[in-house]
Amino acid sequence: MLDWHARFVSANADFNGAPLLRGEFDLDKGHGDVASAKLLLSALGVVEAWVNGARASEDLLTPGWSAYEWRVRYTELDVTALVGLTTVLGLALGNGWYRGRLTWKGGSAFYGDELAGFAELRVRFADGHEQIFGTDASWTAGQSATTANDLYDGQDIDARKHDDAWLAPGFASPDWAPAKVLDDDLARLEPYTGPPVSRQAELKPVRVWESPAGKLLVDFGQNLVGWVRVEVTGLQGSVVSLRHAEVLEHGELGIRPLRSAAATDRFTLSGEADMFEPTFTFHGFRYVELEGWPGGLTALRAGGGLTAVVISSDLKRIGTFETSNPMVNRLHENAVWGMRGNFVDVPTDCPQRDERLGWTGDIAVFAPSACFLFDAKDFLRDWLRDLALEQEHHEGVVPYVVPDVLKYIELPADLPSVTDTTAVWSDAAVWVPWAVWTAYGDRRVLEETFPSMAAHARRLRSKLSSNGVWDTGFQFGDWLDPDAPPENPVLAKADAHVVATLCAYRTSDLVSQAAQVIGRAEEATEFRQLADALRTAFAKHYVSAEGVIKSDCTTVYALAIVFGVLDDSRHLFAGQRLAKLVEASGYRISTGFAGTPFVTDALTATGHLDAAYRLLLQTECPSWLYPVTMGATTIWERWDSMLPNGTINPGEMTSFNHYALGAVVDWLHRVVGGLAPLEPGYRRFLVAPQPGGDLDWAETTLETPHGPASVRWEHRPGRVRVAVVVPDGTEAVLRLPGEADETLTGGTHSRELQLGKSKSAVVRVGG
């Protein structure tokens, strides 16, 4: 821990939940030029910083959302170019997650009712002298132009109150008062592990019109997460308001899915040319309803003035996938946009309504997809740190959400009053680090998280009945099974305790493997024995002599096959039964959160690739492509979040940006695209594309830790051509139908497979 000189300081007045803080100092003389200046920045709330009138960073929503009870992050910024002989530090604070509204219960200030800023500037001179200046009792506080701010409800800005004079040396005002130093434990300050939130893109409106009810509506063409930057000139004191939503319903803004979230920004005009950017909130939206725009529709069409700003944690895109089928491409792009919008510091379920929580079940199933699409290693390592802290302070229970704000509210009647270990959701403690390890080959994630992984597996073991299966307690089960009633998404076809026991087996198996990787032989044996016992108990209590798994539905067979819990004879039966169930469903989706990520893999592994493709390419609801036919630009929470008649699903819980069901893209990358790791980090990887359906070609690329890899296949009458790029220092195993495996070393390779003969032949082209 650093030896801190600064302290958390707060304004004596609340200033509408958006105070400004300033401090001023002179550089020490006689030490030569400034060699470096580092600003260490944090807050209880969210903070933006200025040094001598210039933004210290374009990072957003610093320091993000962590398990504040035990960990508050700080960021380190290089501000060498900004310091001067007299230097003014300025901080603007907002409520953020610390004090703003959280959960659907309407509460706020769960972590504290007082905002505070923390800044420590460390200046090093040419002769080695160091000068430190930071937040302390010498600082003052005043009012900003922000008159309200909340992540759920939006931000109000009054341009008449805007004045940059507070950032200039010598500023004084009777409206400003001394700040107060908080008695806060600085031991909980930790540096960021993951990336900051930042602006990612800007979109202009694609359509502006009046609704049947006379409302002024704007369409940005893409469901996104961020806000609208507004440039406008109008009468002093007039107000322009923007209400955000993801969809339209019967020609009007569809706000019911937002529940209590107002999602509305209000801007009071100065009478001059104004620019508003509400950086202390964010919205999930494609459409905006405008009120008070000067000149109305005609002026807006003529003059523009609206720009959607896309925000996300600053993750590098590393994986791509494209095919000859535009609808499949749109599905994949929807998953990308869903991840981008829900990876805003915490991997959330949704970004728009009064929830936006780090639900563990969503990331548990989506982690492999996330780790391929973007370099999510440090983002997820940072989140796993919070998971471990919550778990450590709750008797080994991995909560439903991380950070766990639900512990502060009364849970709904259909959930237990006390959070307990539950399958899939709590399994994030194991499934997520394993996905990170597999994708990047960095042992640190297993070394850092193994205590959490082991604690979860032991807690899970304590929940098993005397018969060896997990058949007691609350389970989400196959959440959002499409056959469950809209008002009760837990009522799935799959027996919840069959699902739980299967997940317990997978978790025990992975913890044993993780222990082996990091050289913990005793734990590897401990959890291998647990996995073996679960496998035996599962077969005894949930599988009939004929091989029928209890509840006899798609999800239980898919999980049993992919998790490897069955012996060879029952594996064969399970594949055949799964294929029949999929056929009986008309190749429509019949799985929820637990089964959906694994059903296409289960079909592929048991020789039913055609059925997997028919599931993928189905356009009737429920299916992956049905939302695409309805114009979706992100993954929906429910298969039928929007009904065919344009009416929003009647369930209270309906989001149009929920990445979990987009976990199928992991199968697209590995099976359709044909690029999968054989060793963690892709030092060895498998090239085994499996063409099918109506696809004529597919191309998959990945920036591996060792360099770029890619696979492109093209299907032509009677032949398939495959082109492969292998990074130097790695090798790929090429596996084509009817041919022996071939090892490829670094470089570019091309192969052509002749089809339609009694014995296939490979015509080799190039090296």
- Which residue stretches of 4-139 are H helix? 96-99
Strand order in the sheet with 46-51: 54-55, 46-51, 86-94, 19-26, 140-143, 177-178
pTM (2 d.p.)? 0.96
Token pair 């696809």 is found at: 695
Virtual torsion, Cα 179, 183, 186, 188, nearest 10 deg? -120
Among the ranges given (7-11, 394-398, 577-581, 714-718), the one the predictor scored with the smallest mean pLDDT = 714-718
Over residues 66-104, the pLDDT tens digits come to: 999 999 999 999 999 999 999 999 999 999 999 999 999
> Is residue 252 helix, strand or coil?
strand
Report the amino acid identity of residue 423: A
pLDDT value at position 761?
A: 34
The pair phi, psi for residue 468, each rounded to 5°, is 90, 0
- pLDDT-derived band at 229 (thresholds 50, 70, 90) equals very high
pLDDT at 294: 96
DSSP symbol at 670: I
Instruction: Read off the pLDDT of residues 701-748 as tens digits, 9 standing for 90 and up.
Output: 999 999 999 999 999 888 899 999 999 999 999 999 888 999 999 999
Q: Is 132 in contact with 122 (CB distance < 8 Å)?
A: yes
Instruction: Look at the block and give the residue holding tokens 């749109």.
Output: 330
Kindly name the residue from 48, 289, 526, 637 that is annotated as catalytic: 637
Decide if 637 is catalytic.
yes
- Interval 395-412 mean pLDDT: 94
Residues 6+ apart with CB under 8 A from 139: 9, 21, 22, 23, 178, 179
- Per DSSP, the three-state class of 528 is helix
What is the predicted pLDDT for the residue at 417? 67
Q: Please tell me the distance from the alpha carbon of residue 142 to that of residue 175, in angstroms, as a whole number.
A: 7
Radius of gyration for the alpha carbons in the chain, expressed in angstroms and rounded: 28
Count other C-beta atoms under 10 Å from residue 369's C-beta: 28
For 322-369, what is each residue's pLDDT tens digit? Answer: 999 999 999 999 999 999 999 999 999 999 999 999 999 999 999 999
Residue 762's pLDDT is 36
pLDDT band at 185 (very low <50, low <70, confident <90, very high): confident
CB burial of 403-439 (b: ≥16 within 10 Å; e: otherwise) equals bbbbbeeeeeeeeeeebbbbbbbbbbbbbbbbbbbbb
- Pick the catalytic residue: 355, 390, 523, 752? 355
Q: What is the pLDDT of residue 502?
A: 98
